Structure formats: structure tokens, C-alpha cells
A and B are shown apart, each in its own frame.
Chain A
Amino acid sequence: MIKPQEIRKIGVDGLLRNNPTFRLVLGTCPTLALTTAAMNGIGMGLAVTFVLIFSNAIISALRKVIPNEVRIPAFVLIIATFVTLLRMLLDKFIPSLYESMGVYLPLIVVNCIILGRAESFASKNPVVHSAFDGLFTGLGFTLALTLMGAIREILGAGAIFGVTLWDFRIEFFSSSAGAFFVYGISIALFNFVYTKVESRMHKRKFEKLYGHQELTVQEEAK
């Protein structure tokens, strides 16, 4: 079975190091189109998470059965099954969300995050690992979408999660130009903070291994 350290590694990978939105820049279409409000972001993110968990698990279980030559159509078929399932469920139980997501819900089938995880992770790893990978990647996506949705909703509509905060709105941020702008700025900030943290962690690891030595250029040259 899966070890706690492995879960932790997969978690850090999915949420931060390989964050689908901010690090891999995958799934940009729903990211740009649906982040006008924080609630949409959560809805879309959780929908993708649902599909990711199950498609990853099934693809991983079938990874030795699926012939290499036709793996992409097979993956898409499995993904489409779960998207159809999700659409029926949402239509029945949360019709408001179903309507607000519109065409982007069926488009999850061709979402490159799901196909990407299937190709790069699920087709090479055991079932439980793949399910956890789906969960954390999906959560990373949800987190990113919610963050962007919140920024755009606060600035563009003066509200957060549908609750009006003030009467001041900069409509630029609700428009698609604002989507690209917020997306670019968030990618830049996320990577700035992430590389800072990562380099500090590397330094700490190094110090743990070799004591508090300063690695000078001369030593490196030797």
C-alpha cells in the first residue's frame, strides 16, 4: 500500500511543484473563462477533481491491458465516461452550477490536465498512488481557480462568493483582458514565491547534510 511519505510527496507535487495552473500552465481555457467569480472557480475545480480521481484510478488499473498504440483514445474514452456521469449528477442535484458552467463542463473531456496526468502519472503508477495524484492535482487546480476567481470578483464586481462588499467595480477585471492580466500576474507571483521557498529549502537540506559550511566558488571549482 501507499506510504505516508509518498502521499506527502504526491501532495506537494500536485498542489505546488506541478500546480497545473501556475506551474504547468495547463487547462487555461476554463481558467480564463470561468474565473469571473470565486464560486465558479470552486465548482469547476471540484468537477475536474472528481473526474481526475476516478479516471486516474481506472486508467492506472488498466495500464497493463491498454495497448500502447491506442492509449490516447482509450484514455479519452475513460475520461468521457466520468464526465458524462458528472454531467448527469450535476444536472440532477446542482442545476444552478450545471447551468453556470455551460459548455465548459463537457469540455472537461479534452482538458489537458486530466489527459496529462493520465499520460505522465496514472499509466506508470499503481492505483492508489494515481488516485491520490488525481486528488491533489485537482485540489491544486481548484485552489488556483478559486484564488483567481476571488481576485477578479473582488476587483471586478466588488463582491466575494456572491456577497457584495462595496459598490466600486473595475470592469476591466471581469472582462477577458482582465482574465489574461490576472492570470499572468498570478503565475509570476506564484513562481516568484515558490522559487524563493524552494531555494531556501535546498539550502537547509544542504546545511543538514554538510553542516554550516559556506559553499564557496573555489570549493566548487575543486
Chain B
Amino acid sequence: MSDIIVSASPHVRKKRTTRGIMLDVLIALLPATVAGLVFFGARAAVTIVLSVFGAVATEWVWLLCKKTSIKAIARQFDLTSVVTGLLLALTLPPLDYKYFYIPLLSSIFAVGVAKMLFGGTGKNIVNPAIAGRVFAFISFQSPMVSGWMRPLFGSVDSVAVSSATPLTSMLGDSIGAMGVSNLDLLLGTGVMGCIGETCKIALLVGFVYLVVRRVVKWQWPVIYVAVCGLISCAMGKSMNYFLPSVLSGGLLLGAIFMATDYVTSPNNKWACYVYYVLLGVVTALLRFGTKIEVVSFAILLLNLIVPLLNMWIRPRPFGATPIPQLIKQKCADLKAKLGKKKQKEGEQQ
């Protein structure tokens, strides 16, 4: 017996590393990035390069200031900042070259403030890319809102598309005036929007890859998107709203790549159900309330309640009292307590 030594937990190990998972995410983002480059050309390329550079540089400079040697940094480098930079760039509109500082500053904010200030990888309370996007959106409203660019090809001929994103016109008018068919929305042809969010097919390909590689569970994005779509239908009182509301804006990008971030989503099943349903509800309501695209704000808001969800909804340990029995017990306890109170009152009287 004494020959056997039990090491400390965890006993079940996988060869998976943070770097491997992040590489998977990068591969999954590849189709969307390529689609963005095809649709928006050099502008998209510049935005993506600047944003990724800003994110990685911020992380490395921060670690250098903490007196870590370059070798150690390179050894520990887990690609999270590359993912943050790329995701952030995909949520920015293809900006004019004179706004080169927007992707730079917002990626510096994303990594420096939202991630490193809270202790680095795995300790951030909000998704860094989302924080960066919201920073850009609040700080540079005019280029972020009016900086939309016509895609390089596609059938842009309707008036509705030329003024704003399809989503804004959808929220503003009835569906008939939208001018973009669901197929256009799905392929991203002739749709204005942020670099990574217009081509939904590319995002879906990435989603399938993530599910196959088991990086993301398929339920979560599906729940989020479905709830958001259904509530949009309820608000618009027509089932025709489902596809446009799901396929326009940054909903798919947010649902697949941002809401499912390991660090900022709840860590057990039931809390996750609550989280993603709430996300759908908040996104749909905010969309109709504010008439702008709010997926990033919804995710930011819900990220903040994740610690509470983790605290309130805990996984039940194996062998714990089953829930129906627990409820019965509680009821019995309550009855006993009430009975005692009544008795006491009776005695006092």
C-alpha cells in the first residue's frame, strides 16, 4: 500500500492548453476575417493589424514593466491578446485611415485596463474585446457611427442600406422598407457593418469548427440567439422579425465568440442557462429601446452579474439531497416554525 502515492488533484488531465484553445478560436475567426478583408479591403486590413498590434504590444510592455524577461514572456505567451485584438478589430467598422488611432487606443484600453489591471489572463471581469469596443463607441461616436463603408462588391442599390446599418433601418421602419433580403444578410453581400459581422456564413463556419473542436458548447450561442430572435418577434408582433433580427448586427459574432468567453461566463450548467437567456432578453429589449446595436453593451452588462450567478447557482454535489425532497424539507421546517410562533402568540394571549 505504501508504494502508492496519491498526488494532489486534479487527477484527470487533458493535453489542452490555453494557447491551444486560443489557437482554435483564432482558426475559427479566420473565415470571418477573410470575409471582412474581401468585403472591405485595405481599410479592414489596416484596422485589424493596428488592433492586434496594440493588444499584443500592451500585454508585452505591461509584463516588461513588471520585470519579466522577454524570454519568459514569449514562453508564457498564450495568444489571448491576439484573440482580443482580432475580435476587437472585427467589431469595429472599417475606418478611414485618418482614424488610425481608434483601433490602437481601444485595443490598448481593452488589454491594459480590462485585462491587465485586473491581473491578466483569466482574471478579467469583463471581456476585454467588448470593453475595447464600448470604449471606442463611447469615445469616438462620430467616426464609429457614421464611418460605415460600402462593401467592395454586392448589390448595393437600395436607399435603405446607404444611410445606416440594416439593423437601424429595420428598427426604424417596417420590414418591407429594409431593402436587404435575408440571403444578403446571411452572405454579407451589400450589407454595411463592422468588419467581422457582416458575413454570417463565415461566422457560422467558425462556430461549427469551435463546436467540433469542443471549445464551445453548441447550446449556449443557440439559446442566446434564439431567445433574442423570439423576443424581437414578440416586440414586432410578427414572426418575420426572427431572421432579420438574428442575421443583422453583431448578434452572431457576439453570441459565438464573445458571450462564450470562458473567463466571463458562468462556470456551471444552470447558471449558464440563466446567463444566456438573460443575454437574449437584454439584447432584444435594449435593441428596441435604444434603436442602436447593443450586443456589446448587453454582454458587458451581463458579464458583471456573472460572479453573482456563480455565487447563487451552484452545482449540486453528488449525493446531495434531491431538489424536490429539499423543498419538502424546507416547507416542513417553515410549518414547524409558524406553528411555534402561533403557539407562542396563543400563550401570550
Contacts and interface: CB of A to CB of B under 8 A. Distances in A.
Which of B113, B139, B140 lies at the interface centre, i.e. has the most chain A CB atoms within 10 A of its CB?
Answer: B139
A172 B113 contact: no
Contact of B140 (A171, A177, A181): A171
Contacts of A173: 139
A170 B113 contact: no
A175 B138 contact: yes
For the side of the interface on A, what is the size category?
Answer: under 10
B113 to A, nearest CB: 7
A85 to B, nearest CB: 40
A172 B135 CA distance: 7
Contact of A177 (B101, B105, B138, B141): B138
B113 A171 contact: no
Main SS class of interface, B: helix
B141 A171 contact: yes
Contacts of A172: 135, 138-139
Interface string A155-190: 000000000000011111101010001000000000
A181 B138 CA distance: 14
A168 B100 CA distance: 13
A161 B113 CA distance: 27
Nearest to A173: B139
A153 to B, nearest CB: 15
Nearest to B135: A172
A170 B105 CA distance: 10
Nearest to A188: B117
Interface in B97-149: 101, 105, 113, 135, 138-141
A75 B101 CA distance: 52
Contacts of B141: 171
Which of A169, A171, A172, A175 lies at the interface centre, i.e. has the most chain B CB atoms within 10 A of its CB?
Answer: A172
A46 B135 CA distance: 33
A181 B113 contact: yes
Contacts of A169: 139
Contacts of A181: 113
Which of B101, B138, B140, B141 lies at the interface centre, i.e. has the most chain A CB atoms within 10 A of its CB?
Answer: B138
A169 B105 CA distance: 12
A170 B135 CA distance: 9
B275 to A, nearest CB: 23
Contacts of B138: 171-172, 175, 177
The 6 closest A-B pairs by CB, nearest first: A172-B139, A170-B139, A171-B139, A172-B138, A172-B135, A175-B138
Interface of B: 101, 105, 113, 135, 138-141
16 contacts: A168-B101, A169-B139, A170-B105, A170-B139, A170-B140, A171-B138, A171-B139, A171-B140, A171-B141, A172-B135, A172-B138, A172-B139, A173-B139, A175-B138, A177-B138, A181-B113
Given A170-B140, A172-B138, 7 more contacts: A168-B101, A170-B105, A170-B139, A171-B138, A171-B141, A172-B135, A181-B113
